[in-house]
Amino acid sequence: MNAKVHAFTSVTSNYLPKARVLAESVKRVDPSVCFHLLLSDDAPEGFDLANEPFDNLIYAEDLPLENFEQWVFSHRLVELCTAVKGLALETLFADFGAEKVFYFDPDIAVFSRLDELIGKLDEHSVLLTPHQSEPEPTTKGIIDNEMCSLRYGVFNLGFVGVSNTTEGRKFARWWRDRLIHFCRDDHSRALFTDQKWVNLAPCMFDGVHVLRSPAFNVATWNLSTRKATGKVDGGIDIQINGEPLGFYHFSGFDSGAQERQLKEYGSHSPVLFKLRDWYISECDRHGQEELGTLPCKYNSYEDGTKIEDAERVLYRERADLQRTFPDPFATSGYERNDLKGGYRAWYRVHGDDSGGPNVLTVKPNISIREFLDHAAAYLEKRANTAQATGSMKKSGLKSLAWLMRRAGSLA
């Protein structure tokens, strides 16, 4: 592949229809861009790259990751699809000789002005788009949009552009390392997958450029300050605040949030409702009904049981569990009786299941009083479980819980 400009998106197979719409839109605007599909899943039956709008398929399991099964298991599916983005960016630089790389979320469609973005990477090393580029005019907009940006990240990482320069590679390595270890949806630690990290990028790297044009990464979270005009019938020709639309982000489509927010903030732009209808039609054309509900291979244990988020979180926090169950997906192959059934069986007995946990998990940065209250509640639950056999043991646990509550009241 001799292309200088590369683009990629990251999906599981149920997002393949959206990724097809995205890839086709990029190719219509600039056929010379080499488009990669990064797949954290098995390809669906009948998938043939020769008949797809993608130039290349990269499986997440082929990226340079140690202890892949453990690492994947430790991520919820949304975390997983974002955690691999930094590794993929470095791979496109190192293995494909890419001079410029763009990442687009799969629920984006590109309509024009790629040449402008490519030119920007001649002048800058990193391109970012903010969720908002103008102040919200209403209190409701401040709460819904600006405060949401403070919680989830200033920049929307549905898009990022990076050039293969010294500073661009420094950014890529930094981002990759953060995502390998800390791509988590964990608001108690001020984390939201890959997005919050990039709040720091303009502080740490030269050549970071913020695209403030209203026509890039247009989405419901910025429609209150952006008006769309134009047409969809007979070819899409849309302007945003008088500028040609670069790319539109259909975020929140499957949950219904996109439609609700479009009605809330896009009523002044009726053409966007026609654009939404166009997008639904394009996704349907590319197999949304057939593929949209496909379960990811990493969604279940070896025996088909669905993996719960709490099971993933406990596993990633416990190095001893990672050593004991090197393949947490496996539910067979363990010789010792106490390990039969693998991590899944262990968690059913010892983990934070609905029947009462044998593991105390406490969020960081809480007060001593809160910690003691949590610990007391844990001991009270343990006192009432089947494992707490004998009146002496039950009484001892309850007494210790009382002491912790008493200490908490004095803390």
Residue-range domain boundaries for the chain: 5-291, 303-410
Gap between the Cα atoms of 171 and 157, Å rounded: 14
Gap between the Cα atoms of 280 and 138, Å rounded: 31
Q: For 5-291, which CATH class?
A: alpha beta
Give the residue-averaged pLDDT of 108-121: 98
Smallest Cα–Cα separation from 70: which of 332, 333, 342?
A: 342
pLDDT band at 405 (very low <50, low <70, confident <90, very high): confident
Average pLDDT, the chain: 91
pLDDT of residue 358: 52
CA distances from 369 to 361, 401, 405, 408 (A): 15, 13, 8, 5
- Bridge partners of residue 36, in order along the sequence: 8, 56
Helix (H, G, I), strand (E, B) or coil at 173: helix
In this predicted structure, which of 44-58, 221-235, 262-276, 342-356 has the lowest mean pLDDT?
342-356
Q: Summarize pLDDT for 179-234 with one digit per residue, the tens.
A: 999 999 998 889 999 999 999 999 999 999 999 999 999 999 999 999 999 999 98
Smallest Cα–Cα separation from 271: which of 230, 225, 227?
A: 230
- Residue 241 in contact with residue 215, Cβ under 8 Å? yes
Give the residue-averaged pLDDT of 155-172: 98
pLDDT above 90 for 27? yes
pLDDT of residue 352: 54
Gap between the Cα atoms of 253 and 260, Å rounded: 10
Greatest CA separation for the chain:
80
- Residue 161 in contact with residue 102, Cβ under 8 Å? yes
Residue 355 CB-density burial (10 A; 0-12 exposed, 13-18 middle, 19+ buried): exposed
pTM of the model: 0.84
Q: Summarize pLDDT for 243-269 with one digit per residue, the tens.
A: 999 999 999 988 889 999 999 999 999
pLDDT of residue 3: 81
Residue 358 CB-density burial (10 A; 0-12 exposed, 13-18 middle, 19+ buried): middle
Gap between the Cα atoms of 250 and 106, Å rounded: 9
What backbone phi and psi angles, to 5 degrees, belong to 299?
A: -85, -15
pLDDT above 80 for 377? no
Cα dihedral 280→285→289→294 (10° resolution):
-110
